[in-house]
């Protein structure tokens, strides 16, 4: 991927080797972002595949206004949020079916563990990821991209289509909200 313009042109022409390089270069970032948002390994793997299918289908529309990585993060976030909405809808339907007696299955909540977390920190990470789920999606996404993915405020601003000041505000509110949730958890 030395000459980015040439690489992007190869992608637009459907070059399989270039696409394989793209997947190789970005699959961990896409998966880590997906797992941080949807918190289920199999779903994150499926979503990662969906993201690369979307990239393959829409690379011809990539204008280069932003970096390729920014465009990939934006697709990942969009897909992850769609995935979450669908899951919430399914849960609501399932809950309603349980209420009216059409369904007897109870949902089993599985503990979430991010694959990048050291074994001795898994329990703390699980508590943090559960707390993250209580945040509004824009705060959660900004927090994950900056704290877990290591992106800059400017990169996150481009991805989320917000100013750096807005991202700073989202991060501060996310920290404040997480502090409240985690204090309740640990001061029980």
pLDDT digits (tens, 9 = 90+) for 12-67: 999 999 999 999 999 999 999 999 888 889 999 999 999 999 999 999 999 888 89
Helix extents (H) in 14-163: 16-38, 41-58, 68-99, 122-132, 137-143, 153-160
- The CATH number given to whatever domain includes residue 133 is 1.10.10.10
Domain endpoint, select from 110, 145, 177: 110
Two tokens at 3?
């000459």
pLDDT digits (tens, 9 = 90+) for 71-101: 999 999 999 989 888 776 666 566 555 555 5
Domain endpoint, select from 71, 91, 110: 110
Same domain, 40 and 71: yes
Same domain, 121 and 97: no
Residue 21: which region, alpha, beta or left (left: phi > 0; alpha: psi -120 to 50)? alpha
Domain boundaries, position 165? 112-188
Same domain, 91 and 165: no
Same domain, 35 and 95: yes
Answering whether pTM is above 0.75, one says no
Two tokens at 35?
């797992």
Burial code (b: 16+ CB inside 10 Å, e: under 16) for 61-80 equals eeeeebebebbbbebbbebb
5, pLDDT greater than 70: yes
Domain endpoint, select from 110, 126, 161: 110
């Amino acid at each position: 991927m030395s000459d980015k313009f040439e690489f992007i042109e190869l992608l637009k022409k459907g070059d399989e080797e270039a696409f394989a390089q793209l997947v190789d270069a970005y699959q961990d970032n896409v998966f880590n972002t997906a797992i941080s948002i949807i918190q289920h390994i199999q779903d994150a793997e499926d979503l990662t595949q969906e993201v690369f299918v979307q990239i393959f289908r829409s690379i011809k529309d990539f204008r280069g206004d932003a970096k390729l990585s920014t465009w990939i993060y934006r697709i990942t976030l969009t897909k992850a949020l769609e995935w979450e909405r669908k899951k919430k809808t399914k849960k609501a339907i399932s809950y309603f079916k349980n209420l009216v007696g059409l369904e007897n299955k109870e949902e089993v909540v599985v503990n979430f563990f991010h694959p990048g977390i050291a074994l001795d920190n898994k329990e703390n990470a699980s508590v943090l990821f559960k707390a993250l789920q209580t945040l509004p999606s824009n705060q959660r996404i900004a927090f994950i991209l900056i704290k877990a993915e290591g992106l800059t405020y400017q990169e996150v601003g481009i991805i989320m289509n917000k100013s750096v000041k807005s991202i700073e505000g989202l991060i501060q509110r996310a920290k404040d909200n997480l502090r409240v949730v985690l204090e309740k958890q640990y001061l029980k």
